[in-house]
């Protein structure tokens, strides 16, 4: 959430004509709105001299916090650059991260989409506390963007309506170029097979001077960057060189941007170098690479690709030819690995340039390693057919390796075994999720959908929002049913058609999987591939929508179950979340009876306690029966514990055992 406000607006309004004031505000808000949209946000509303923008709704991205802070910094730059438009007024910006409700509000006929929640209020408080020309952010925003933004700590303050003090941070600057993705320091496990494939491709490239394109594909957090870094470390230890470029999804995304980064790194050009100095460095580098050749034309062509000059050429092919010649010369100087990250965000011009590498690079030890998400191959169906391309799919860690990683990352404690198992199950083999969950649990986190690590939630929410709308609706409905669900239950929820095709598409995306057998005869049973996906999808639904769907699921189970008592706990869960406490309490009592018959008295007591919370105070008859049932369970529990305590002492007679409990 971002709030931007014109500081000194009241005094300005007092001194100037209302029409001039309106004209000035229009110019300022238009400028700020352009910046918001440039970074992928949405202007929620403009109220007088204040602009309110949201990042992450209606569509989420993994880096919405960074987008919002970069927006604030760019707004300040534009305000300084266009001081005449802003009439000398300063801008104060506040940014905050948290869960908010994105919904339609207002009277009938005039309802508008907006965001609400405590995180919104806190963003407004941060804006009010920000210094003139400053961008003040909350703690969660700071934690999510520390790798992209330079901050200065400022004294904490007491925000209106808050019981505790807020620790804000003042944003100073953003990385000028795409920051290198932080690489985890967690143990590197479970990637021997993929590493062998990469090393084999490299050995062939180096031995045969046969350039190769390898495309490493996998979902966010699966370890593409980490594998690429480990691979690069091995090559560099053996005398190779690595050059890197990365595409960004927002901002002033220029054509060939990732290749421009590669070109500048290879030529020793810094972001702070003025144009003429950068051009001179490039020219000298080319002369060293290709001695005795006239490289002036190539320098011009590469300068155009790197945006170091305003010259143009009539034929794009000469630009591509110079780029190819440059890479071949670099590789002949020293075997080279060219890593291009986040190719799913690349501009089309860059994709065509890289495609030309796959077709035309020759007689040089160079391997191009492209990292992308699975949807990249859907958007670029011809990519996999490029000559020399080898596509490597990076899947989730296997059970053994996931367990090993979780065990190494979690601190030892009394519940280590159960905690490791829960992390394994929740993360579904995604290394980043395992790492984030382990760090979060070490800091006192608990497994609740509303309290998951922000970094994990934003990644998953972004992935859900990229789904086609019908597939997304199916997944949201499935999340209400539970970790496992049936096609028939989705039909009962009114899932869109063609349902079978939508489920197959979600399977292909590795979001769900079909189970080998079904507990409902004649129906397909499926489950979520990752428990975290289900939890985030569930938390995305508004409470009213959840209630409707929980009711439909409860009715479906009642109709399909041969014996409702066998599903009493599940029915209690769905009726409780559907808002029908009485039905939920009845099923909880049934489940308590089942637990008691199996001598699971702890569970019986807990189920009775849950049911008591759902019975209103005025219904004394039902409350009395529940307390009596709980008392029976408690008596049996105490009896059992006493017997266990004395059961091994053969010197005692049966008459010395537990007396009756009244």
3 state SS of 261: helix
Q: What is the DSSP letter of 166?
A: B
Is 650 part of any domain?
A: no
CB 191 within 8 A of CB 396: no
Residue 129 within any structural domain of the chain: yes
Q: Which of 370, 393, 416 is the last residue of a domain?
A: 393
Query: Does residue 241 share a domain with residue 158?
Result: no
Give CA–CA dist 660/662, Å, rounded.
6
Cα(535)–Cα(528) distance, rounded to whole angstroms?
A: 10
Tokens linked to 66: 């960074």
Contacts of 564 (CB under 8 A, 6+ apart): 557, 558, 571
* pLDDT (0 to 100) of residue 286: 95
Domain co-membership, 79 together with 143? yes
CA proximity to 2, closest of 48, 26, 35, 25: 35
- pLDDT tens digit sequence for 222-271: 899 999 999 999 999 999 999 999 887 765 556 788 999 899 999 998 87
* Tens-digit pLDDT profile for residues 284-310: 999 999 998 899 999 999 999 988 888
Domain boundary among 145, 174, 203: 174
Q: Evaluate whether 118 touches 55 at the Cβ level (below 8 Å).
A: no
525 vs 648: CA distance, rounded Å:
46
Q: What's the helix, strand, coil split of the chain in %, to 5? A: 55, 15, 35
How far CA 564 is from CA of 482, 561, 567, 594, 605, in Å, comes to 17, 6, 5, 12, 21
pTM: 0.67
30 and 84 in a single domain? The answer is yes
Q: Is residue 430 part of a domain?
A: no
Q: Does residue 215 sit in the same domain as residue 330?
A: yes
DSSP reduced 3-state for 61: coil
CA distances (Å), origin 223, targets 186, 372, 380, 441: 11, 11, 22, 21
- Joined tokens for residue 8: 């000194």
Q: Is residue 198 part of a domain?
A: yes
Per the structure, the count of domains in the chain is 3
Task: Compute the residue count for the chain.
Answer: 662
Regarding whether 196 and 162 lie in a shared domain, the answer is no
Say what the pLDDT of residue 366 is: 97
Q: What residues contact 364, with CB distance under 8 A and at least 6 apart?
A: 209, 211, 327, 328, 331, 332
**In a domain? residue 369:** yes
- Alpha-carbon distance of 381 to 154, in angstroms, equals 50
Per-range mean pLDDT, top range of 186-190, 238-242, 431-435, 609-613? 238-242
Check residues 426 and 235 and name the one with the higher pLDDT.
Answer: 235
The continuous run of DSSP H or E covering 72 comes out as helix 64-81
CATH number, domain with residue 290: 3.40.50.300
pLDDT of 444 over the 90 cut: no
User: What integer pLDDT is reported at residue 364 of this predicted model?
Assistant: 95
Q: Is residue 183 part of a domain?
A: no
Q: Is the pLDDT of residue 631 over 50?
A: yes
> What is the spatial distance between Cα 570 and Cα 591, in angstroms, rounded to a whole number?
10
Q: Which of 337-346, 386-395, 481-490 has the lowest mean pLDDT?
A: 481-490
pLDDT at 422 over 90: no
Q: Which residue has the higher pLDDT, 558 or 454?
A: 558
Domain of residue 78: give its range.
2-174
Q: Copy the structure tokens of residue 617.
A: 């105070």
DSSP 118-151: HHHHHHHHHHHHSPTT-EEE-HHHHHHHTTTEEE
Does residue 70 share a domain with residue 25?
yes
Dump strand ranges (E) for 529-631. Answer: none
Asked whether residue 233 falls in the same domain as residue 350, the answer is yes
What local confidence, expressed as pLDDT, does residue 166 receive?
A: 85
100 plus 146 within the same structural domain: yes
Average pLDDT over residues 647-658: 41
Q: Which of 440, 391, 482, 24 lies closest to 197, judged by CA?
A: 391
Other C-beta atoms closer than 10 Å to the C-beta of 523 total 13
Whether residue 169 is found in the same domain as residue 215: no
Query: Which of 139, 174, 209 delimits the end of a domain?
Result: 174
The CATH number of the domain holding residue 124 is 3.30.70.1230
Residue 474: per-residue pLDDT: 92
- The three-point CA angle 174-180-181 to 5° equals 105
Q: How far is CA 597 from CA 585, 592, 603, in A?
A: 18, 9, 11
In a domain, 406, yes or no: no
Q: Indicate whether 341 and 490 sit together in one domain.
A: no
Question: In terms of domains, do 262 and 167 share one?
Answer: no
More confident residue, 186 or 649: 186
Q: Is residue 448 one of the residues assigned to a domain?
A: no
pLDDT score at 626: 78
Domain shared by 463 and 504, yes or no: yes
pLDDT for position 457: 77
């Amino acid at each position: 959430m971002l709030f931007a406000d014109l500081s000194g607006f009241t005094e300005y309004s007092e001194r100037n004509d209302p029409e001039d004031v309106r004209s000035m505000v229009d110019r300022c808000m238009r400028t700020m709105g352009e910046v918001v949209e440039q970074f992928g946000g949405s202007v929620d509303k403009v109220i007088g001299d204040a602009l309110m923008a949201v990042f992450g709704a209606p569509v989420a991205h993994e880096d919405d916090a960074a987008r919002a802070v970069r927006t604030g910094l760019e707004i300040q730059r534009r305000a300084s650059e266009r001081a005449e438009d802003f009439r000398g007024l300063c801008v104060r910006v506040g940014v905050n991260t948290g869960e908010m409700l994105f919904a339609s509000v207002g009277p009938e006929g005039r309802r508008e989409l907006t965001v609400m929640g405590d995180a919104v209020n806190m963003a407004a408080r941060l804006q009010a506390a920000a210094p003139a020309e400053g961008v003040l952010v909350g703690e969660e925003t700071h934690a999510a963007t520390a790798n992209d933004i330079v901050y200065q700590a400022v004294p904490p303050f007491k925000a209106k309506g808050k019981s505790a003090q807020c620790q804000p941070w003042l944003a100073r600057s953003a990385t000028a170029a795409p920051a290198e993705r932080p690489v985890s320091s967690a143990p590197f496990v479970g990637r021997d097979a993929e590493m062998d494939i990469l090393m084999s491709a490299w050995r062939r490239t180096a031995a045969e001077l046969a350039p190769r394109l390898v495309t490493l594909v996998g979902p966010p957090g699966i370890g593409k960057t980490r594998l690429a870094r480990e691979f690069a470390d091995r090559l560099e230890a053996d005398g190779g060189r690595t050059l890197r470029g990365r595409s960004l999804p927002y901002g002033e995304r220029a054509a060939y941007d990732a290749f421009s980064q590669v070109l500048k790194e290879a030529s020793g050009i810094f972001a702070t170098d003025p144009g003429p100095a950068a051009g001179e460095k490039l020219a000298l580098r080319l002369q060293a690479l290709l001695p005795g050749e006239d490289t002036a034309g190539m320098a011009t062509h590469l300068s155009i690709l790197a945006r170091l000059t305003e010259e143009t050429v009539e034929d794009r092919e000469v630009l591509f030819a110079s780029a190819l010649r440059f890479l071949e010369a670099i590789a002949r100087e020293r075997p080279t690995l060219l890593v291009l990250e986040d190719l799913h965000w690349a501009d089309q011009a860059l994709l065509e340039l890289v495609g030309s590498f796959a077709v035309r690079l020759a007689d040089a030890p160079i391997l191009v390693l492209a990292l992308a998400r699975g949807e990249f191959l859907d958007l670029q169906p011809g990519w996999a057919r490029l000559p020399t391309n080898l596509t490597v799919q990076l899947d989730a860690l296997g059970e053994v390796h996931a367990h090993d990683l979780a065990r190494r990352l979690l601190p030892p404690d009394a519940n280590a075994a159960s905690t490791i198992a829960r992390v394994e199950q929740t993360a579904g083999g995604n290394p980043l999720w395992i790492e984030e969950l382990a760090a979060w649990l070490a800091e006192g986190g608990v497994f609740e959908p509303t309290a998951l690590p922000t970094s994990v939630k934003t990644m998953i929410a972004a992935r859900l929002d990229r789904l086609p709308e019908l597939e997304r609706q199916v997944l949201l409905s499935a999340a209400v049913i539970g970790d496992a669900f049936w096609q028939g239950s989705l039909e009962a929820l009114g899932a869109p058609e063609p349902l079978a095709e939508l489920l197959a598409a979600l399977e292909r995306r590795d979001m769900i999987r079909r189970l080998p057998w079904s507990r409902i005869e004649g129906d397909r049973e499926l489950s979520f591939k990752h428990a975290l996906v289900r939890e985030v999808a569930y938390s995305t639904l508004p409470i009213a929508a959840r209630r409707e769907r929980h009711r439909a699921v409860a009715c479906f189970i009642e109709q399909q179950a041969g014996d409702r008592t066998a599903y009493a706990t599940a029915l209690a869960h769905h009726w409780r979340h559907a808002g029908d406490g009485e039905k939920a309490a009845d099923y909880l009592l049934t489940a308590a009876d089942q637990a008691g018959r199996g001598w699971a008295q702890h569970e019986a007591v807990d189920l009775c306690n849950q049911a008591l919370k759902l019975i209103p105070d005025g219904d004394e008859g039902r409350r009395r029966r529940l307390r009596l049932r709980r008392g029976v369970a408690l008596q049996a529990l105490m009896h059992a514990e006493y017997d266990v305590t004395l059961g091994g002492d053969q010197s005692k007679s049966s008459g010395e055992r537990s007396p009756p409990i009244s």
